[in-house]
C-alpha cells in the first residue's frame, strides 16, 4: 500500500507539508505520493519515501468540469479542485499499477493508533458518510487500479448527467447507487450510540456503524475535528470556533460531537465515552488548518482541547491576519463587495428586510 495526498493549484500551504512530515515521522511502513498539477522540482522535505506525481487532466474531464455550475472564483477554484482531485487520484492509481492506495486529505490528522494493518486488508473502495446527501473524501481506500478505473467511469457518467455537483455529493451518489461496491469506514460504534444526532434520526443510514467490528474504532467524518479543534477561520471572517454544537446542528450532520465526553490517553489515543465503552477515534479533520496540530506537541494540544471541551462553552479566537488576507485576496480578485455582503451583520439585515417585505 502507498499513501497519497493531493494538492491541485499553485501555492501549496504550510500545513500540507507539516502533515507530510508528520506522516513520515509517525509511520515508517508506507511511502507517500504527492499529487500536484505542477512538477515540484525540489521538495521542501527530503525523504526517499516521498514521490511527486504530476496530474495532467484528460480533455473529456476538463470539458465536463467546465460545464458545471460552480463558483470558479471562490478561493482560486476550490470547488473545482475539490472535485477534480478525485479524478487526479484515479488517474494516478491507474498509472501506478495494482498496488493499493490510501488517500489522506491534506488537513486530516492520523492519530497514533490508526489501523493501517486493517486498512490494507480491505478489498473494496472505502470512505465515510457525513449526512443524507454527502460522503467525505478525507480518507479513501483504493484496493486495486481496477476499482479506480471503475470509480472514474462512474464519476464521468454522473458529470454527464448533472450540471451542479461537488466532491461530497458525487461520492454519496455512487455509494447510494452501488452499496455493495463501497465499504463504509465507520463513524459511529452502533446505531444506538450517544454521538448520533437524533434530530436526524429519520435520515440515519442503517450501515453508519458497519465496519466497526473490523476496526474497533471510528474515523472522523469531519464534524468531530471541527467541534474539538476548531472551524475554518476563512469561513467565518477570521474567527475560529470550538465546541459550537449549534452551528454543526444547522448542517444536518449524522454526528453531534458535543453529546459525548472525550479523553486522551498517555499514549495519545483519543476516545469518546459511549455508555461504559471508550471508543477510539483514529483520525481528526483539522478544519481550521492550524499547523500546530501537525507538529511534535500536537497530542498535548489535543489534550488541552479535550480539557477545555468539558467546560461546555464555545471558545472563539479571532485572527486579524487571516481577515486581512481574505480582504486582500477578494480585492485582487474583484470579489470584495460580494465577500463583504456575507458579513453576519449584513446577513441579519437582509433577513430582516425579507421578513418585512413578506409580512
Does the structure show a pLDDT above 60 at 350? no
Q: How is the beta sheet containing 135-142 ordered, strand by strand? A: 50-54, 32-36, 2-7, 101-104, 135-142, 125-129, 182-184
Confidence of residue 354 (pLDDT cuts 50, 70, 90): very low
Q: 319 — phi, psi (to 5°)?
A: -115, 110
* Segment 335-345 mean pLDDT: 62
**In degrees to the nearest 10, what's the CA dihedral of 212, 205, 155, 79?**
-90
What average pLDDT does this structure show over 114-137?
A: 96
Q: What is the pLDDT of residues 63-100, one digit of tens each?
A: 998 888 765 454 455 668 889 999 999 999 999 988 99
Predicted model pTM? 0.88
Contact assessment for residue 3 and residue 62, using Cβ atoms and an 8 Å cutoff: no
Q: CA–CA separation, 126 vs 225, rounded Å?
A: 20
- The pLDDT of residue 357: 41
d(CA 74, CA 76): 6
Kindly write down the DSSP assignment for every residue of 330-349, as one continuous string.
HHHHT-HHHHHTTSHHHHHH
User: Could you give the domains of the chain?
Assistant: 1-184 (3.90.550.10), 186-318 (no CATH), 323-357 (no CATH)
One DSSP character per residue, 93-151 reads HHHH-S--EEEE-TTEEEPTT--HHHHTT--SEEEEE-SSS-EEEEEEEE--HHHHHHH
Q: Crossing angle of helices 59-66/78-96, nearest 10°? A: 160
Average pLDDT over the chain reads: 88
Amino acid at each position: 500500500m502507498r499513501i497519497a495526498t493531493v494538492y491541485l493549484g499553485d501555492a501549496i500551504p504550510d500545513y500540507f507539508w507539516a502533515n507530510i512530515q508528520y506522516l513520515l515521522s509517525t509511520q515508517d511502513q508506507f511511502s507517500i505520493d504527492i499529487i500536484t498539477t505542477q512538477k515540484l522540482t525540489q521538495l521542501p522535505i527530503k525523504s526517499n519515501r516521498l514521490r511527486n506525481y504530476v496530474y495532467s487532466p484528460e480533455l473529456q474531464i476538463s470539458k465536463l468540469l467546465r460545464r458545471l455550475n460552480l463558483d470558479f472564483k471562490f478561493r482560486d477554484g476550490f470547488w473545482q479542485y475539490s472535485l477534480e482531485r478525485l479524478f487526479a487520484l484515479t488517474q494516478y492509481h491507474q498509472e501506478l499499477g495494482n498496488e493499493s492506495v490510501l488517500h489522506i486529505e491534506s488537513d486530516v490528522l492520523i492519530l497514533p493508533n490508526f489501523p493501517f494493518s486493517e486498512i490494507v486488508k480491505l478489498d473494496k473502495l472505502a470512505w465515510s458518510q457525513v449526512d443524507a446527501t454527502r460522503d467525505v473524501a478525507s480518507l479513501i481506500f483504493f484496493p486495486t487500479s481496477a476499482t479506480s478505473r471503475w470509480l472514474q467511469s462512474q464519476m464521468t457518467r454522473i458529470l454527464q448527467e448533472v450540471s451542479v455537483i461537488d466532491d461530497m455529493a458525487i461520492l454519496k451518489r455512487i455509494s447510494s447507487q452501488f452499496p455493495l461496491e463501497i465499504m463504509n469506514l465507520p463513524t459511529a460504534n452502533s446505531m444506538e450510540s450517544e454521538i448520533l444526532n437524533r434530530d436526524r434520526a429519520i435520515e440515519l443510514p442503517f450501515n453508519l456503524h458497519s465496519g466497526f467490528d473490523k476496526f474497533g474504532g471510528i474515523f472522523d467524518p469531519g464534524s468531530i475535528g471541527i467541534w474539538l479543534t476548531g472551524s475554518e477561520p476563512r469561513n467565518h471572517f477570521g474567527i475560529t470556533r470550538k465546541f459550537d454544537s449549534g452551528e454543526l446542528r444547522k448542517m444536518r450532520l449524522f454526528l453531534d460531537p458535543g453529546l459525548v465526553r472525550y479523553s486522551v490517553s498517555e499514549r495519545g489515543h483519543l476516545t469518546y465515552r459511549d455508555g461504559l465503552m471508550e471508543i477510539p477515534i483514529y483520525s481528526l479533520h483539522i478544519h481550521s488548518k492550524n499547523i500546530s496540530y501537525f507538529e511534535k506537541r500536537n497530542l498535548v494540544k489535543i489534550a488541552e482541547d479535550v480539557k477545555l471541551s468539558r467546560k461546555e462553552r464555545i471558545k472563539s479566537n479571532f485572527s486579524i491576519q487571516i481577515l486581512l488576507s481574505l480582504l486582500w485576496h477578494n480585492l485582487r480578485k474583484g470579489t470584495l463587495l460580494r465577500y463583504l455582503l456575507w458579513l453576519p451583520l449584513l446577513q441579519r439585515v437582509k433577513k430582516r428586510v425579507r421578513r418585512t417585505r413578506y409580512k
